[in-house]
Structure 1
């Protein structure tokens, strides 16, 4: 089992609150203050969980520069009070950053869920990693 330090638990809390504020900001018709606060908390939580060096290495890998530019540019636009445009650009960057992780997550969900239709759907999504390009 993976041991989590107290510092990483604080990071999980930051990420949880960040996701809550992002969801709440979207539900309140893209409230720019809530979205900006959610983005900041999410990025701080990610940095606290995996560390500053790993965060920097993740965002600035040569293969992920385009996704990082769109994601961080979207965060910047949200901070500059362009919430709808910023969230659209940020979502595109998020998909570009994590496109290699989606098949793994769908495969895990397919093995976790024992509902016939959903497990077939998740297993099909997990097997087709080329469709995420």
Structure 2
């Protein structure tokens, strides 16, 4: 096993609160205050989990510059007071930045006992197979 530091535990909490505030901000018709707090908590939590230096190197890699600019630009637009436009830009950047982690996350969620039943339903399973890649498929 590996050791989890107290800073990383705090970071996971901050990321969780950030995602919760973002969800509530969208649910409450793009409330700009909740979205701004959610964005700040998410970024600070990410920096606590993987460290500030690795966070900066993750966002500012040469091949991720477009995705990082969209993500951080969307956050700035939300903070300026245009939440719907900012969230659209931010979502585009988020998908570009974190799309590499999506197949791994889906395959981990498929092993969770309660979610396994839901994620194996025919319609949902087909969508998730196209996103994560079907492990039973053979590629030529």
TM-score computed with the length of structure 2 as normaliser: 0.81
Q: Which stretches of structure 1, 4 residues or longer, exceed 6 Å deviation after superposition? A: none
1:40 alignment partner in structure 2: 40
Q: Which runs of 5+ in 1 are unaligned?
A: 129-133
- How far, CA to CA, are the matches of 2:35 and 2:5 in structure 1? 28
1:28 alignment partner in structure 2: 28
- Report deviation, 1:95: 0.4
User: How many equivalent pairs are there?
Assistant: 128
1:16 alignment partner in structure 2: 16
1:104 alignment partner in structure 2: 104
- How far, CA to CA, are the matches of 2:64 and 2:30 in structure 1? 27
8 Å contact 1:11–1:48 — kept in the other structure?
Answer: yes
Q: Which runs of 5+ in 2 are unaligned?
A: 135-140
Q: CA RMSD in A?
A: 1.9
8 Å contact 1:15–1:41 — kept in the other structure?
Answer: yes
1:54 alignment partner in structure 2: 54
Query: For residues 16 and 107 of structure 1, do their structure 2 counterparts lie closer, same or farther at Cα, with a shift above 3 Å needed?
Result: closer
TM-score computed with the length of structure 1 as normaliser: 0.85
